[in-house]
A and B are shown apart, each in its own frame.
Chain A
Amino acid sequence: MSAEESGPAGSAALSGWEGRKGPADDNFVQLLSPAGERLSNPEYDSWIEDLSDQDLLGYYEDMVVVRRIDTEATALQRQGQLALWAPLLGQEAAQIGSARALQPADFVFPSYRENGVAYVRGIDLVNSLRIWRGNTHGGWDPYEFNMATPQIIIGAQTLHATGYAMGVVNDGADSAVITYFGDGASSQGDVNEAMVFAASFQAPVVFFCQNNHWAISEPVGLQAHQAIADRAPGFGIPSMRVDGNDVLAVLAATRIALDRARNGGGPSFIEAVTYRMGPHTTADDPTRYRDANELEDWAAKDPITRLGALLDAKGLLTEEAKAAVQAKADQVAKDLRANTISLPEPEALQVFDNVYSEPHSALERQREHYQHYLAGFGPAENTAAEGAHR
């Protein structure tokens, strides 16, 4: 049978590819309603009953600060100080809730949007901005903060996390590993292979999927017809699906998963159902692909407003407390701006640094030649300016 006979390329034959529907959004664990009411859940409550008022205020402050960092970084990008920025606007609870569950010895393998997690790990965000400014690919020493530098290849970090966790088991250590990735990433082979390995070796790794509904312009329905959390059990990995805009639910789920990891229970999967309120990056135009109504619906589920309402009801969000949080956020933003703008230009020969850890003759030769070449432009010349010719 020829292809002509069997496979017409007309629209009718393939129209079933259209009209994809994503998994429902309301089938998840929620401990804090959008209106800020504390909802009880017998399985999860015990994991957060130790929280003090101070803790709650702390999470609120974290979220306000990272949102403020986003605003500042976006402004810096618009002013030409950053080449690009990937905002996490709307995902504050998913990041703060999960990161606050971690202990210092736990290791984090992020994607590129985990600035909230980096903030909680104690990383000065100027080190993140250095990357987006184009000064470096790295930004910080992963071993200093137990957090790998951002990963741009979608999904690759989940395998790194799993391997690291296998090492943790070999070493007889009791720390855990967490890896962050998106709904889009869940389609990648790497993520699926990471789950196979994690289950096979009972690696203490938490797969933390921030389902923010969009992979650039592609809706989650294109990646998954059923909840993404439903896949993990097929790999032999228990999973939880939580409201990702609910910092308490995220915290509780991550604590459950980390506890399992530390106690020899192997990997866990968490799908945090959240929403990317901003563009994918500052180079993106979401009006081309997404409905303004959708944005409005999600604005009503805002993670910060929600915790704010709870704090308010408890009488904790006094004018004074609010002002203190705002002052902290403004200070962080101010420092971030100043430190970013004053970053020195990288020196030309840095282009050859750290390619190998031991001398490499071919590269040494290229470095020497290029140095000689640059010297031809005069003593102060560090840059091979276009048009500098003779």
Chain B
Amino acid sequence: MRHPAEGTLRRLADEPSAITDPDRAHVAACPDCQETLSTVRKEAALIGAALHTEAAPDVDAGWRRLSDAFAAPMTAAEAIRVGRRAPVPRWRGPMVAVAAVVALLTGATAAVATDWLRVFHTEEIAPVTISRADLLALPDLSAYGDVEVTEEPHVRDVPDAAAASEATGLAVPEVTSLPRGVSGQPVYQAGDRVTAVFTFDGDRAGGPPELDGARFRLTAGPGVAAVWAEDRGVPALIVGRAVAPAAYSDSGVDFATARDHLLSLSGLPADVAAQLRAFTGDGTTLPLHVMDEKLTSAPADVNGAPATVLTSRDGVLAAVVWVRDGVVTAVAGSLSADEVLTVARGLA
């Protein structure tokens, strides 16, 4: 009888009952297999000892921490991490507009609370540093009026890049060289345009008379994304592209009037409000919220387009986002800033 494979001997060391009777009998009578089994056991013990780490966590404290995390809105880093680890990453729910990349990067609260700031055509993106406490203090739009989503994004998987392009009319970014540690084929996703109409309510928000009943139509998308996963779906890289947010008013209200009034109500610190006023002055710059506790931002250049690089303070995540010709593109993943920039600059 041939000798059992080392894998079988390895299992014999752990789960003897799982090995067939003939194999067990052979090993018991075979000096060579006994010697191999002894080596296998020693190495298993050695590796077990090398990997062993004392870890007796406080379960109650852990549960409180997790409960607190669920009570708070997702941060940008968390949103991306959740997407990274889902077995089949999907962007669903109200937190994700079809401008999926922007929403993903700015996080749920930022996306909802500051949609009014997108009441313009986006030509560039600029970071706005804001603390978590200030972000959480922002009321959402329902505090100022009524929001009705009139077109849903319908984000779904599609078979390939061609199908994503056909569904959205967007050229799907092609990654020419994957970073180290990322391999295989991506899952492609497509989403339709999302549209919401916001009607300002003077009873709730006060303000000048012309604001009462003023309507703004906010649009974003369509969008596409390619997501690379490893093994059981631990995504390492996301490349997304979407038609940048824009907005329209049918009431003739001057954007600056609405902006200044909402900023006065939001309770934002003066310096943050000043940043927003400055960025939105020409109606073409989309503020990208950077929570100081979680992310750092830095300017960069992607083949001539000004870009913003975001890096999580724990070093786990990096992303780069830029706008060209009214289309926002982002590269994000469990990578370094250099790696996402390399991918971004190499997109075909």
Partners in one complex: no
Interface residues of A (CB under 8 A from B): none
Interface residues of B (CB under 8 A from A): none
